[in-house]
Amino acid sequence: MSTPRVILLCGGVGGAKLALGLDRSLPSGDLAIVVNTGDDFDHLGLRICPDLDTVLYTLAGVVHPEQGWGRADETFAMLDELARRGGPDWFRLGDRDLALHLQRSLRWRRGDRLTEITADLVSQFGVHSAILPMTDDIVATRLDTAEGTLDFQDYFVRRRCAPVVREIHYDGATAASMSPAFLRALSSPRLERIVIAPSNPLLSIAPILSIPGVSDQLRKTGVPIVAVAPLIGDRAVKGPTAKLMQELGMRAGVVGVYDFYAERYPALIDAMLIDRSDGHEATAIGCVVASTDTLMQTMDDRLRVAQSVLELSVKGGRP
């Protein structure tokens, strides 16, 4: 699985919906999903990779349907027991979910690469698309907030994104390397398109792009790079995207998203897929723009957005 036609850069819940749409729209083996690992952390001695797991569970059809993360039909006997004796229960570790964390953590501590571990899990779960961690090194997203510097999960889960954010760091990024599998996927002779999922630009996509060489390597492929807007109007479908953009002095909305990518990673984005209701903003966006209903509630929604992304005609795109 090293010659994808489409590569998706992806975070957790929102991105995983598009990942599923693409996975179900493309022939087996045509999709490689590069996943943010900036949210990964150690908890209870386990190495936990929230975005990788969300993408894996979503593609395997075992994700919790309402939540969008964790397992369907989950139980919490371990966590209840832990909480009963004063242990930490702020991170909702389900019993089934634990099987995966134990498997991964064992190999992680033995020194296996996250890419290999993930590939084996992908195979165990019968998933056909490749799921690639952005790096095998440790990158940790941390946030300078009005309440001090917070680890990502501390901010995101424990504090529910409440603290006002002043700056975001991707600790370890400058010393990290793209995973070899990520590099190989980018040199696929069949590559036709790179898609940026409707994930949080600051918390899910920027960590991937913060690794040295990533944006250059993406450009070097010469294929169109299409971003799907994670906002409809000035509101994120899920999560703190809009709040965070405002706190960091950005314009919350699809134009703000485009400006963020264009300023920080010049000449990266060739086209953007935005929601139909944001059509009036198209002229303020400095690249090819197409629109559809981007809210992905049903499987049909996911397939429609996937089709729109794949068919978006990038006139004037790089050859």
Query: What is the C-alpha to C-alpha distance for residues 225 and 213, in angstroms, rounded to an integer?
Result: 16
Q: Which is nearer to a second copy, 89 or 137 (CB)?
A: 89
The residue assigned the tokens 């409809």 is: 232
What is the token pair recorded at 162? 């409440």
Residue 9 C-beta-side C-alpha neighbours within 13 Å: 31
Give min distance, CB of 43 to a second copy, in A. 9
**CB–CB of 9/194 below 8 Å?**
yes
| Phi (first) and psi of residue 165, to 5 degrees | -95, 135
Point out which residues bind a second copy (CB under 8 A).
Answer: 44-46, 74-75, 77-82, 85-87, 94-96, 98-100, 102-103, 105-106, 109, 124-125
Task: Give me the amino acid identity at 181.
Answer: A
Query: What is the C-alpha to C-alpha distance for residues 313 and 136, in angstroms, rounded to an integer?
Result: 34
Q: Which residues are bridge partners to 272 per DSSP?
A: 227, 289
Give min distance, CB of 87 to a second copy, in A. 6
Give min distance, CB of 91 to a second copy, in A. 12
Q: Which is nearer to a second copy, 109 or 166 (CB)?
A: 109
Give min distance, CB of 303 to a second copy, in A. 28
Q: Which is nearer to a second copy, 80 or 147 (CB)?
A: 80
**CB–CB of 62/72 below 8 Å?**
yes
Q: Which is nearer to a second copy, 27 or 45 (CB)?
A: 45
Q: Which is nearer to a second copy, 125 or 314 (CB)?
A: 125
Give min distance, CB of 270 to a second copy, in A. 40
Q: Which is nearer to a second copy, 99 or 146 (CB)?
A: 99
**CB–CB of 236/242 below 8 Å?**
yes
- Terminal CA-to-CA distance of the chain, rounded, Å? 25
Give min distance, CB of 172 to a second copy, in A. 21
